[in-house]
Amino acid sequence: MQQQVRVNTRVTPEARPRSPKDYYRRGISSFDMQSQMFVDGKWVGSENGAVTKVLDPSTGNVITEVPLATIEDTRFAIDTARMAFDDGRWSRLTPADRSNILLKVADLLERNAAVFARLESLNVGKSIKQSANYDIPYTVDNIRFFAGAARVVEGKAMGEYVADGTSAIRREPIGVVGVITPWNYPLMMAVWRIIPALATGNTVVIKPATLTPLSTLEFAKLLDEAGLPKGVFNVVTGSGRDVGEELARNPKVDMIAFTGSTEVGRRLSELASSTLKKLSLELGGKAPFIVFDDSDIEGAAEASVIGGLVNNGQDCGNSTRYYVHSSVLDKFQKLLIGKLSRVRIGDPLDESTDMGPVVSDTQRQRIEGYIEKGIQEGGKLLSGGARPKVKDHENGYYLEPTVISTENEDSCIVKEEIFGPVFTIVPFSNYKEVIQNSNNVIYGLAASVWTKDITKAMNAVRDLRFGTVWVNEHVAVPSEMPWAGYKQSGHGASLSAYSLEEYTYIKHVYFDLTGKSRKSWYYQIYGNKES
Ligand code: NAP
């Protein structure tokens, strides 16, 4: 992905830690937060003492344990956030005061970038190159953008839309926002939800993914240190079924901001409907990567590796369906396979590693299931598909980048989100066909087009039904631009000024200008018109 800011995040290579104590000693994890979550400004365990293990996907070792919160724990956190919202301790601060605290958070994250980068690589299995040079610096930039932009969130200017009065628009916080995040970019996805919600005056209860809660817990320390009032931000670790569903059901929560799968997004829509909560949903994707015959094939092949392998192939915007014009198919395939053979699979904490493991064994088996089914449905395995041997990481959840070509447009590997390092190549012969097939999925998150013909590019930009369309690039997402889904990729926007609006109500305020007790129009309801 595009690097937004540069910060000093030098991470020295080190031998793989062996135990939780080792992780702590090396400053990779915070032992003091072990078995604790952050509620009402305090570090607390779950009411029944239950915990869940957090694993390192590159070894299968236990990193630490975190509380497995109950529904009661969740209700307590919601009550805390409710009180913190209702008494105005945060919402009544000026935008500038809120912004200054959030800017301090960005500074603290920048200062602690190396710790967060390691934590993210350790817990998710992504390469330290990516965490240190992209995930964390970009997240710092996201926070700074939201903190600044929140100071210019505004309604329309005042105006007289009826002769006797002045109307104005206020934008006000929604209240308590329940945030539920996925495991692929634990900190970044949390920040995309937490910071715009806080910047506009809301209070937050967040449930991170059970597999990857560590950076969100560590981030709570930064918010606390930056001076966020107690109770305004709360982290509850636990299962989607208990904590997540309680957030969606509970009438004291005003909004759910969810990033995750389309399937869970549907479930949350059902649950939230009982209280008609506002929902912002950032869901799955199945991005097409369309290579026309007149494109820079070498450039497209180079970018296809990036688009497909960023975050070990676990990015909602990953290029997954490679529609390649038949006349350049052989050339593109050879280039892609050659490049993938040079991808260095290894320890995520080693600076020379390009690709780490996928996040869990369950996820790996799911991906392998898709590879198998894709082949049964007519796909041809061109490369990869096996579990590579990685020295000292024999128990890690590694999987080779896998290329399958198919002409079966209805195959599951063309239609469904795999969320792993699988490249599905589908040949095409004309513009109409490729656009139709690209649009013919339930998702509509992102797409890219590769061509030197500006007219073709502009037509494709118009015709593709996706929230982001890149031309001769894949993956770049600046903080200032919206990241938003069409169709079952969700609704609402992350990033940009549009996302700040998500977390506000609009209020119409009307001021009478006449000072009269009987206004000229009252006769419409009772009495006579004044002459
Ligand atoms: P997921 O299975 O939908 O889980 C996401 C979060 O929802 C986790 O915290 C999970 O908790 C929770 N959850 C699960 N079941 C729930 C329920 N019944 N009620 C409430 N919460 C529930 O997604 P994932 O596997 O973590 O992440 C991968 C997905 O996220 C992919 O589909 C990807 O495309 C999508 N994603 C989208 C974007 C975007 O911007 N559009 C960005 C990143 C990821 P547990 O961990 O306890 O199961």
The tally of CA atoms less than 13 A away on the side-chain side of residue 16 is 22
Query: Do residues 150 and 173 both lie within one domain?
Result: yes
pLDDT in the model for residue 8: 38
**318 and 205 within one domain:** no
> What phi and psi values does residue 153 have, to the nearest 5 degrees?
-70, 125
Query: Does ligand 1 come within 6 angstroms of the Cβ of 315?
Result: no
| Banded model confidence at residue 6, pLDDT cuts 50, 70, 90 | very low
pLDDT at 68: 97
Q: Indicate the DSSP class of residue 482.
A: -
Which two structure tokens, joined as six digits, stand for 229? 């009032």
Alpha helices in 200-327 (DSSP H): 214-225, 245-249, 262-273, 297-309
DSSP count for the chain of H helices, then E strands: 17, 24
> Considering 218, 245, 316, 502, which one is annotated as catalytic?
316
pLDDT at 287 over 90: yes
Tell me if residue 24 falls in helix, strand or coil: helix
> pLDDT grade, residue 113 (50/70/90)?
very high
Any atom of ligand 1 within 6 Å of the Cβ of 420: no
Kindly give the distance from the C-alpha atom of residue 502 to the centroid of ligand 1, in angstroms, as a whole number: 20
The identity of residue 25, as a single letter, is: R
Give the other-Cβ count within 10 Å of 242's Cβ: 18
| Res 69 pLDDT > 80 | yes
CB of 11 within 6 A of ligand 1: the answer is no
Q: What local confidence, expressed as pLDDT, does residue 45 receive?
A: 94
> Which residue out of 66, 139, 181, 184 has the highest number of ligand 1 atoms within 8 Å of its CB and is therefore the one to mutate?
184
Protein residue closest via CA to atom 48 of ligand 1: 240
Ligand 1 centre to CA of 337 (Å) is: 31
For residue 314, give the nearest of 213, 399, 195 by alpha carbon. Answer: 399
Q: Is 418 left (phi over 0), alpha (psi -120 to 50) or beta?
A: alpha
The pLDDT of residue 13 is 45
CA of 26 to the centre of ligand 1 (A): 30
| Atom of ligand 1 lying closest to residue 260 CA | 30
Enter the tokens of residue 114: 């190396």
pLDDT at 5 (0 to 100) = 39
In a domain, 394, yes or no: yes
Query: Which residues, at least 6 apart from 266, have a Cβ–Cβ distance to it below 8 Å?
Result: none
Q: Given a cut of 60, is residue 496 above it in pLDDT?
A: yes
Domain count, the chain: 2
pLDDT in tens, 174-198: 999 999 999 999 999 999 999 999 9
Pocket test for ligand 1, best of 183, 189, 442 (most atoms within 8 A of CB): 183
Structure tokens that stand for 436 in this block: 């139709």
| pLDDT reading at 507 higher than 50 | yes
Residue 248 pLDDT > 90, yes or no? Answer: yes
Residues 501 and 469 in one domain: no
Ligand 1 pocket mutation, candidates 180, 239, 271, 277, criterion most atoms within 8 A of CB: 180
Smallest CA-to-CA distance from 467 within 305, 255, 287, 280 is with 287
Residue 316 alpha carbon, nearest atom of ligand 1 = 34
The mean of the pLDDT values for the chain is 94
Q: What does the block give as tokens for 270?
A: 């059902």
Cα 468 from Cα 94, distance rounded (Å): 33
Residue 301 belongs to a domain? yes
**What's residue 280's pLDDT?**
98
Each residue's pLDDT tens digit, 297-340: 999 999 999 999 999 999 999 999 999 999 999 999 999 999 99
Q: How far is the CA of 235 from the centre of ligand 1 (A)?
A: 16
CA distances from 312 to 118, 273, 297, 306, 456 (A): 16, 35, 23, 10, 31
In a domain, 521, yes or no: no
Same domain as 141, residue 129: yes
pLDDT band at 157 (very low <50, low <70, confident <90, very high): confident
Q: Which residue is catalytic, options 245, 282, 417, 502? A: 282
Q: Are residues 252 and 373 in the same domain?
A: no
Strand, helix or coil for residue 65: strand
Q: What percent of the chain has pLDDT over 70?
A: 94
Residue 43 lies in a domain: yes
Q: How confident is the model at residue 155 (pLDDT cuts 50, 70, 90)?
A: confident
Residues 273 and 291 in one domain: no
CA–CA gap between residue 91 and residue 84 (Å, rounded): 9
For residue 1, the model assigns a pLDDT of 42
Determine, yes or no, domain membership for 454.
Answer: yes
pTM: 0.95
**SS3 category, 326:** helix
Nearest CA to ligand 1 atom 17: 240
Q: How far is the CA of 260 from the centre of ligand 1 (A)?
A: 3
Q: Are residues 177 and 323 in the same domain?
A: no
Centre of ligand 1 to C-alpha 272, Å, is 16
CB count within 10 Å of CB 225 equals 12
Which token pair is 494? 């992350």
Between the CA of residue 266 and those of 242, 253, 271, 282, what are the distances in Å?
16, 18, 9, 11
316 is catalytic: yes
Q: Is the CB of 206 under 6 A from ligand 1?
A: no
Give the model's confidence band at 21: pLDDT under 50 very low, under 70 low, under 90 confident, else very high.
Answer: low
Say whether both 47 and 144 belong to one domain: yes
Which residue's alpha carbon is at the smallest distance from atom 12 of ligand 1? 240
pLDDT at 293 over 60: yes
Q: Considering Cα of 307, then 342, then 378, then 297, what sign does the dihedral take?
A: positive
Per-residue model confidence as pLDDT tens digits over 459-476: 999 999 999 999 999 999
Q: In DSSP terms, which residues pair with 515 in a beta bridge?
A: none
Q: Are residues 346 and 213 in the same domain?
A: no
Same domain, 298 and 261: no
* Domain span holding position 57: 36-283+491-507
Dist. CA 260–CA 211, nearest whole Å: 13
- CA nearest ligand 1 atom 32, residue: 261
What is the per-residue pLDDT for 106? 98
Structural domain includes residue 421: yes
Question: Quick check: 316 and 285 in contact, CB under 8 A?
Answer: yes
pLDDT at 229: 98
Q: Is residue 530 part of a domain?
A: no
The answer to whether position 121 is within a domain reads yes
CATH number for 479: 3.40.309.10
Ligand 1 binding pocket includes 492 (Cβ within 6 Å): no
Q: What pLDDT was estimated at residue 14?
A: 52
pLDDT of the residue at 181: 98
CA distances from 194 to 86, 168, 241, 475 (A): 18, 28, 21, 23
Is 70 exceeded by the pLDDT of residue 12? no
Q: Name the residue with the closest Cα to ligand 1, atom 20.
A: 244
Helix (H, G, I), strand (E, B) or coil at 51: strand
Residue 30: its pLDDT value, please?
59
Residue in 289, 319, 322 with CA at minimum distance from that of residue 450? 289
Atom of ligand 1 nearest to the CA of 183: 26
Concatenated DSSP letters of 420-473? SSEEEEEEE--HHHHHHHHH-SSEESEEEEE-S-HHHHHHHHHH--SSEEEES-
CB atoms under 10 Å from CB of 369, counted, come to 12
Q: Are residues 471 and 346 in the same domain?
A: yes
* 515: helix, strand or coil: coil
CA of 490 to the centre of ligand 1 (A): 12
* pLDDT tens digits along 382-438: 999 999 999 999 999 999 999 999 999 999 999 999 999 999 999 999 999 999 999
Same domain? For 263 and 193 the reply is: yes
